[in-house]
Amino acid sequence: MVAELDADSTLVTVEADPERFEVARKKLAGTRAEVILGDWREVLPELPPFDLIFLDAGDPAQAASLAVSMLARGGILVKDDLIAGRPVEGDPVREALFNDPRLVVSEIQTTPTAAAIIAVLRGV
Mean pLDDT of the chain, nearest integer: 88
Q: Can you tell me the distance from the alpha carbon of 80 to that of 107, in angstroms, rounded to the nearest whole number?
A: 10
Q: What is the DSSP string of 6-26?
A: -TT--EEEEESSHHHHHHHHH
pTM above 0.85, yes or no: no
Q: Can you tell me the distance from the alpha carbon of 87 to that of 36, in angstroms, rounded to the nearest whole number?
A: 35
CATH number at residue 58: 3.40.50.150
Residue 120, pLDDT above cutoff 90: yes
Whether 108 is covered by a domain: the verdict is yes
pLDDT digits over 28-38, tens only?
999 989 999 99
Whether 117 is covered by a domain: the verdict is yes
Do 16 and 56 fall into the same domain? no
Give pLDDT, residue 56.
80
